[in-house]
């Protein structure tokens, strides 16, 4: 290559190759792992330059193991075994210097126990023993034994890591290395295995050992023992015991004795009927018979003695003899009476059944039109619809509601038989419906549920459709932080001709989040809620709302009162009575006036009745404020009709006392004027989870103190902590849902807090900066 400078000068250059050189870098580094004590294992480490060559040096617990090895010849370290947990790393050396790999921790666990065997067995107990494996320098703390019932197909799963059924798990202190398992079933096969635990962790499980409990004696006597005399013969009859046999039934033993004769015992085998041939012409008074079942383990309990009056046999002759094959005696007169009575009784039952079936058909068709009463000598015909026994199908029930075809089609997938639902006490009741505790009878269990009903007589058809749309909406949800739907059924209404809808939901042990927060602060026995728990509540709600937003659902009524707490103290987003699914675009415009929670609604929704997922983000910020203040009402002293003007002036909720600055910064971002500047639920969930991880472990204080702060203004009474109402004047928690009102209605009668300063400027454009303190709401 070349270029012309002056006319008389040329500068020439040639192509070249530049090879960078530096410290070695690793292609493979040692990894953490667990090994059994004194068990050989390998570690790998591989590095390269340039420049080459690269030599490796292994270190154990920061101490060199051997001289530097040639990388090309060896990059695997073979360890013959360890008796304690150690760390390994390797160094790569070349002409430019040394690079150190990551440090791998090798945890030493106990070896698999050996020689698991059965020591002794009883019908309900098994005693097993085993030999522990080596555990290095760490002594064994205990051993865990698992037992599971075997079945006919046990051979198909013995090679798999776990049996098909949930095992029974027991712990045994060591030594001694043996354990007695009690409360087992007699004559039942089991499979057991054992693992031992040290401070470093558990050993591998042993292989499953098949064992079996021995047989036991029957737990109950034979049933319905009877002894009848027919001429010169006596017939003894009984039925198999109802109680568990606890083994294989081998037969029955029959015992009899008279008033002046010793007891005689005989084995009658598996027969349940024995005929005794009576001999002699004398009477034997007070003869009694009893029967017992027996297995290989012995005799079960005897039945109660059954009396039988027999004729005394002649002197020197036995009272009776056992007939090997029961003869067929000629019927004597008592048998005819028994047979005739049975035939007459069967005929009466059949006639009664036919009459009831015919009457039921007529009542089902006409609703008890005809009544057997007479007025003025004439037959009275009356018709009462609500007494009808009509069995309307699901299709007829849905048609009677007058709802859309699309909604009816979706409801068919979640219909539940009303007779399987038992209602209990009322958990809460509102203007249009109630929530009651209930039980759902399933095929093999009874499930505790919450049952949401609706007062049809005071609701319009459109409100009924909204109620059912909520159920169909919840049917599509499957997330741990979103309330799921169990089913929908209908129950008869005394005031209307069509049934009332019933929505079946999971039972939430701790109720709604708002009441929980309120009672923790104002209850008879206040409960301290640490910041870690409050942040966990916020993260759960954010996770549930993130799921809803990915499903293109707008909640439109997100608040602490509409979030439920389950038994694990996890929050589930609930109450989708105002939710809408976005099928086209990313917004929803409300077409008719509905009761809306104005203090939770975004400013653009108040103005234009337009809702997006970012509108739910605004509501989530208010819900975070509710949680941080432990259930206080937002914007106290501000009328619902004044909220829109109040927000347009740039006012926002004030930072609660003891609220982390980072949490309030997230709230402020949720209340940005421009919806595009608000974070998504995915971002909120991630920020809250990171905040939760950064917090220390929760510690409960010795006592709880709430301080009333004077916010000034025109209100005659001081405001409570974080600007809320004083706890002594806080509304009753049961009335916490009274904040729902129509956006177009301006009800009077509420107190008004006059601001002490003039209205501030509009919201700042910076998303991350909160509103000025002087312009924030007093709550």
Known binding residues are 452, 561-562, 575
Q: Which of 55, 466, 512, 557 is catalytic?
A: 557
What is the spatial distance between Cα 542 and Cα 620, in angstroms, rounded to a whole number?
A: 8
What is the spatial distance between Cα 497 and Cα 367, in angstroms, rounded to a whole number?
A: 14
What is the spatial distance between Cα 741 and Cα 595, in angstroms, rounded to a whole number?
A: 5
| Residue ranges at the known binding site for ATP | 452, 561
The residue behind tokens 């292989």 is: 207
What is the spatial distance between Cα 412 and Cα 396, in angstroms, rounded to a whole number?
A: 12
In three-state secondary structure terms, 515 is helix
CB neighbours of residue 563 within 10 Å: 26
* 3-state DSSP of 668-736: HHHCCCCHHHCCCHHHHHHHHHHHHHHCCCCCCCCCCCCCCECCCCCCCCCECHHHCCCHHHCCCHHHH
- Taking the CA of residue 66 as centre, how many other CA atoms within 13 Å lie in the half-sphere pointing to its CB? 8
CB neighbours of residue 568 within 10 Å: 8
What is the spatial distance between Cα 21 and Cα 23, in angstroms, rounded to a whole number?
A: 7
Helices (H) and strands (E) in the chain, counts: 11, 45
What is the spatial distance between Cα 750 and Cα 249, in angstroms, rounded to a whole number?
A: 81
What is the spatial distance between Cα 231 and Cα 630, in angstroms, rounded to a whole number?
A: 88
Q: Which two tokens stand for residue 268?
A: 């009658």
What is the spatial distance between Cα 455 and Cα 495, in angstroms, rounded to a whole number?
A: 10
| Residue ranges at the known binding site for Mg(2+) | 562, 575
Burial label for 202, CB within 10 Å (0-12, 13-18, 19+), is middle
Q: Which two tokens stand for residue 56?
A: 């490796």
Q: Which two tokens stand for residue 294?
A: 């027996």
Report the run of H or E that residue 625 belongs to, with start and end: helix 613-628
Query: Residues 648, 650, 651, 652: what is their CA dihedral angle, to the nearest 10 degrees?
Result: 100
Q: What phi, psi does 127 have (nearest 5°)?
A: -115, 125
Tell me which DSSP letter residue 201 carries.
E
- Tell me if residue 443 is catalytic: no
Among the listed residues 626, 605, 554, the one whose alpha carbon sits nearest the alpha carbon of residue 743:
605
Among the listed residues 582, 568, 499, 493, the one whose alpha carbon sits nearest the alpha carbon of residue 536:
568
Q: Which two tokens stand for residue 718?
A: 């001081």
Q: What phi, psi does 564 have (nearest 5°)?
A: -110, 155
- Taking the CA of residue 428 as centre, how many other CA atoms within 13 Å lie in the half-sphere pointing to its CB? 16
* Residue 591: C-alpha distances to residues 154, 608, 609 (Å): 62, 11, 8
Report the run of H or E that residue 745 belongs to, with start and end: none
What is the spatial distance between Cα 432 and Cα 456, in angstroms, rounded to a whole number?
A: 8
**C-beta of residue 92 within 8 angstroms of C-beta of residue 56:** yes
β pairing state of 104-109 and 33-36: parallel
Query: 388: phi > 0 → left, psi -120 to 50 → alpha, else beta; which?
Result: beta
Contacts of 568 (CB under 8 A, 6+ apart): none
Bridge partner list, 708: none
* Residue 506: C-alpha distances to residues 440, 450, 674 (Å): 10, 6, 38
**C-beta of residue 769 within 8 angstroms of C-beta of residue 644:** no
Q: Which residues are catalytic?
A: 557
């Amino acid at each position: 290559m070349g270029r012309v400078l002056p006319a008389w000068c040329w500068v020439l250059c040639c192509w070249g190759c530049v090879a960078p050189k530096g410290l070695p870098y690793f292609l493979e580094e040692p990894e953490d792992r667990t090994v059994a004590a004194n068990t050989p294992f390998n570690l790998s480490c591989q590095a390269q330059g340039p420049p080459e060559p690269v030599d490796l040096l292994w270190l154990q617990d920061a101490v060199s193991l051997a001289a530097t090895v040639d990388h090309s010849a060896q990059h695997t370290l073979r360890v013959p075994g360890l008796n304690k947990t150690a760390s390994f790393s390797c160094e790569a050396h070349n002409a430019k210097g040394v690079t150190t790999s990551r440090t791998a921790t090798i945890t030493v666990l106990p070896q698999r126990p050996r020689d698991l065997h059965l020591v002794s067995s009883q019908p309900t107990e098994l005693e097993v023993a085993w030999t522990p494996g080596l555990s290095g320098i760490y002594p064994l703390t205990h051993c865990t034994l698992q037992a599971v019932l075997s079945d006919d197909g046990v051979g198909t799963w013995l090679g798999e890591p776990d049996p098909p059924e949930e095992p029974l798990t027991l712990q045994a202190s060591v030594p001694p290395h043996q354990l007695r398992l009690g409360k087992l079933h007699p004559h039942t096969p089991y499979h057991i295995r054992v693992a031992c635990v040290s401070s470093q962790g558990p050993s591998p499980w042993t292989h499953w050992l098949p064992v079996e409990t021995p047989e036991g004696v029957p737990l109950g006597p034979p049933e319905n023992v009877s002894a009848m005399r027919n001429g010169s013969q006596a017939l003894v009859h009984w039925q198999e015991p109802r109680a568990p046999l606890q083994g294989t039934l081998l037969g029955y033993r029959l015992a009899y004795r008279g008033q002046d004769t010793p007891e005689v015992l005989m084995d009658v085998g598996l027969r349940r009927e024995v005929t005794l041939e009576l001999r002699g012409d004398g009477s034997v008074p007070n003869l009694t018979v009893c029967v017992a079942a027996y297995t290989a383990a012995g005799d079960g309990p005897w039945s109660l003695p059954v009396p039988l009056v027999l004729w005394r046999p002649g002197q020197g002759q036995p009272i009776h003899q056992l007939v090997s094959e029961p003869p067929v005696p000629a019927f004597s007169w008592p048998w005819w009476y028994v047979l005739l009575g049975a035939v007459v009784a069967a005929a009466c039952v059949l006639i009664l059944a036919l009459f009831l079936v015919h009457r039921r058909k007529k009542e089902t068709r006409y609703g008890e039109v005809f009544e057997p009463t007479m007025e003025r000598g004439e037959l009275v015909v009356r018709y009462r619809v609500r007494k009808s026994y009509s069995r309307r199908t699901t299709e007829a029930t849905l048609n009677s509601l007058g709802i859309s075809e699309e909604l009816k089609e979706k409801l068919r997938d979640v219909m539940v038989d009303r007779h399987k639902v038992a209602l209990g006490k009322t958990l809460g009741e509102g203007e249009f419906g109630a929530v009651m505790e209930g039980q759902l009878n399933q095929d093999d269990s009874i499930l505790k549920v919450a049952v949401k009903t609706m007062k049809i007589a005071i609701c319009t058809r459109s409100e009924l459709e909204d109620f059912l749309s909520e159920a169909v909406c919840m049917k599509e949800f499957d997330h741990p932080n979103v309330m799921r739907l169990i089913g929908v059924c209908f129950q008869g209404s005394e005031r209307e001709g069509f049934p009332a809808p019933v929505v079946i939901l999971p039972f939430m042990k701790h109720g709604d989040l708002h009441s929980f927060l309120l009672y923790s602060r104002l209850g008879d026995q206040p409960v301290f809620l640490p910041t870690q728990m409050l942040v966990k509540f916020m993260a759960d709600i954010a996770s549930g709302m993130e799921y809803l937003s990915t499903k293109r659902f707008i909640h439109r009524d997100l608040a602490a009162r509409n979030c439920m707490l389950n038994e694990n103290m996890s929050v589930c987003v609930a109450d989708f009575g105002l939710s809408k699914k976005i099928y086209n675009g990313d917004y929803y415009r409300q077409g008719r006036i509905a009761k809306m929670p104005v203090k939770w609604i975004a400013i653009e929704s108040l103005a234009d009745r337009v809702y997006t997922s970012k509108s739910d983000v605004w509501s989530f910020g208010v819900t975070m404020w509710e949680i941080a203040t432990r259930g206080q009402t937002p914007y106290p002293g501000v009328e619902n009709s004044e909220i829109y003007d109040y927000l347009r002036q740039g006012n926002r909720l004030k930072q609660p006392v003891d609220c982390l600055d980072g949490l309030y910064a997230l709230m402020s971002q949720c209340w940005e004027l421009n919806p595009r500047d608000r974070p998504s639920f995915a971002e909120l969930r991630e920020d809250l989870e990171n905040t939760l991880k950064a917090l220390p472990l929760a510690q409960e204080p010795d006592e709880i103190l709430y301080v009333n702060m004077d916010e000034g203004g025109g209100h005659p009474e001081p405001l409570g902590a974080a600007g809320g109402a004083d706890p002594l004047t806080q509304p009753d928690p049961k009335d916490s849902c009274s904040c729902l009102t129509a956006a177009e209605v301006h009800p009077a009668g509420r107190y008004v807090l006059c601001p002490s300063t003039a209205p501030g400027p509009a919201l700042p454009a910076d998303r991350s900066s909160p509103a000025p303190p002087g312009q924030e709401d007093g709550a």
